[in-house]
């Protein structure tokens, strides 16, 4: 019994070394609302190092989008003619493109995420193999699987956000000529309303980033491991 207890303790410690990255997020679609985001903290080893880097990258993306959304509302409100309206459109398009490039399949974040998941899967498989002779390692392998499951959910959220930003890019490009035509006909109100609707979609993505960052922190949290 003492031997089993010792093995259980050792197994639990294999995951406990990964620190818990914490983040406080207040993301809003309002241009007047400030964002408060804290990145991953503490010493990280093993899986924790991978997650800490991931949380920092997601945090940077969220902060960048928040900054753009915060200034975009005032910029659109001040778009009284085709020139200022075009500048607001360019800023909106740049924000959507930056988000898509940061989260898409060709992004560094995507490569980082896949590398992390591959690393975790290898650890899980190794522990599963060793658990054939050391049963106390099986709960640790299950812990890695739990973390992988949360990582898959995060990856799904990231892909969905990337797809939304791609759709917004297409919408902005399609509506550009329409908005300019409104200004040429002195229909600034219609132009502003069209831009406002697209800006709201960007604001929704801004809020969604808070959910993505929250899920990144779930992934960063070491899972519970049952002791046999």
* pLDDT tens-digit profile, the chain (228 residues): 444 443 443 344 333 333 333 333 334 333 333 333 333 333 334 555 578 888 999 999 999 999 888 888 888 888 989 999 999 999 999 999 999 999 999 999 999 999 999 999 999 999 999 999 999 999 999 999 999 999 999 999 999 999 999 999 999 999 999 999 999 999 999 999 999 999 999 989 989 999 999 999 999 988 877 665
Output the DSSP codes for 160-225: HHHHHHHHHHHHHHHHHHHHHHHHHTT-HHHHHHHHHHHHHHHHHHHHHHHHHHHHHHHHHSPPP-
| Torsional sign, CA 55, 57, 61, 66 | positive
Domains of the chain by residue range: 21-220
The whole-number pLDDT of residue 47 equals 54
Residues 6+ apart with CB under 8 A from 90: none
From CA 210, how far away is CA 219, in angstroms rounded? 14
> 134 in helix, strand or coil?
coil
pTM: 0.74
């Amino acid at each position: 019994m003492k031997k089993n207890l010792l093995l259980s303790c050792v197994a639990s410690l294999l995951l406990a070394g990964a620190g818990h990255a914490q983040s406080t997020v207040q993301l809003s679609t309002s241009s007047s609302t400030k964002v408060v985001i804290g990145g991953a903290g503490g010493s990280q080893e093993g899986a924790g190092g991978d997650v800490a880097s991931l949380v920092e990258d997601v945090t940077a993306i969220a902060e960048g989008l928040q900054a753009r959304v915060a200034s975009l509302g005032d910029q659109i409100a001040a778009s009284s003619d085709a020139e200022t309206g075009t500048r607001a459109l360019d800023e909106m398009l740049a924000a959507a493109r930056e988000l898509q490039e940061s989260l898409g399949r060709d992004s560094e974040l995507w490569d980082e995420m896949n590398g992390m998941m591959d690393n975790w899967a290898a650890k899980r498989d190794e522990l599963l193999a060793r658990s054939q002779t050391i049963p106390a390692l099986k709960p640790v392998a299950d812990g890695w699987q739990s973390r992988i499951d949360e990582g898959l959910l995060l990856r799904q959220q990231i892909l969905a956000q990337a797809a939304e930003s791609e759709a917004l890019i297409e919408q902005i490009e399609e509506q550009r000529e329409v908005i300019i035509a409104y200004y040429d006909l002195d229909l600034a109100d219609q132009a502003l309303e069209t831009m406002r609707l697209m800006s709201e979609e960007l604001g929704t993505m801004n809020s969604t980033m808070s959910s993505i960052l929250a899920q990144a922190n779930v992934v960063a949290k070491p899972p519970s491991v049952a002791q046999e």
